[in-house]
Amino acid sequence: MELYFLGTGAGIPSKQRNVSAAALRFFNDQGSTWLFDCGEATQHQILYTPLKLSKIDKIFITHLHGDHIYGLPGVLGSRSFQGTETPLTLFGPKGLKDFVQTSLSVSGTFLRYRLEVVEVEDGAVFKERNTVIKVKKLVHGIPSFGYRIEEENQAGSLQVDKLKALGVPPGPLYGQLKEGKQIQLEDGRFINGKDFLGPCKKGRKIAVLGDTRYTEAAIELAKDVDVLVHEATFGAHEQELAHQYYHSTSVQAAKVAKMAEASSLILTHISSRYGENADRLLNEAKEQFVNTYLAKDLWSYSIQP
């Protein structure tokens, strides 16, 4: 998996940062890509990455503020104009369906692919292929959600050398053993596939949160994740301002990562007031949680198995 940050600013675009959007690309699934939020000019940012609109098959909207959804009609329309016919599912808060339908209808935009809009609620759980998506409501001025993506554990590698030492020839039997099944060999012996599998490969876990004040719900979503993507609109000394505008500080984001025992934290949704001085937020967070990164537009982060 790889996370691409297409927009890492807050509220309005700046010369350094576009508004919110991030993409999660799956390398073991023909490049399938999930988009998280879709601020203005997201499709333009995609042009500077290896991502393709045709490969986006899921879009998760955290909340309906303009800096998170105003790029959506353009992405949906361009995906169709390019000839893509594969289905796309859109997840987000109540009201998202009306926004999409109105935008497409008023602009006379026809989609050549099937579009499904799923309006999420607190506690919702979805299963997509070998991945589970969990939804929790956060604390913002309007309904805002966080998404937890859990990859299922995978069976360990088949220990071929051991099988060859027992005289088990390569072929269809290896497939059955890989599935953990018991088989009988031609000489009458029974062997159990589970005895020839290496350690289980632990599924990856990612939490991508929408705009929010510090909240226990964020800690729950981020529990034991490999990567937590959390907003850091304000600096440590502007906690009251962050609370007033329903946002978080760099230190609060780090506190969530620490309490959740996350492996790494990525700060995003950075206010334009910091301009070239955004590293201040990174340094503040690192004092609380060392493994912290500051996202920048067009920066990517690899999530290894």
Per-residue pLDDT tens digits of the chain, which is 305 residues long: 999 999 999 999 999 999 999 999 998 767 799 999 999 999 999 999 999 999 999 999 999 999 999 999 999 999 999 999 999 999 999 999 999 999 999 999 999 999 999 999 999 999 988 899 999 999 999 999 999 999 988 777 888 888 888 888 787 888 888 778 888 888 888 888 888 877 777 899 999 999 999 999 999 999 999 999 999 999 999 999 999 999 999 999 999 999 999 999 999 999 999 988 899 999 999 999 999 999 999 999 999 87
Tell me the catalytic residues: 67
CATH at 132 = 3.60.15.10
Both tokens assigned to 139: 């604390």
Within this chain, do residues 111 and 183 fall inside the same structural domain, yes or no?
no
Contacts of 46 (CB under 8 A, 6+ apart): 6, 23, 52, 53
65 is annotated as contributing to ligand binding: yes
Within this chain, do residues 132 and 277 fall inside the same structural domain, yes or no?
yes
Q: 0.85 cut: is pTM over it? A: yes
Within this chain, do residues 47 and 115 fall inside the same structural domain, yes or no?
yes
44 is annotated as contributing to ligand binding: no
How far apart are alpha carbons 77 and 124 in whole angstroms? 28
140 is annotated as contributing to ligand binding: yes
Within this chain, do residues 165 and 98 fall inside the same structural domain, yes or no?
no
Q: Is 129 exposed, middle or buried (0-12, 13-18, 19+ CB in 10 A)?
A: exposed
Within this chain, do residues 214 and 148 fall inside the same structural domain, yes or no?
yes
Domain carrying residue 168: 160-196
The number of distinct structural domains making up the chain is 2
Within this chain, do residues 117 and 181 fall inside the same structural domain, yes or no?
no
Within this chain, do residues 49 and 84 fall inside the same structural domain, yes or no?
yes
Contact in structure between 270 and 278 (CB atoms under 8 Å): yes
Query: H-helix or E-strand containing 59?
Result: strand 56-60
Within this chain, do residues 117 and 184 fall inside the same structural domain, yes or no?
no
63 is annotated as contributing to ligand binding: yes
Within this chain, do residues 136 and 263 fall inside the same structural domain, yes or no?
yes
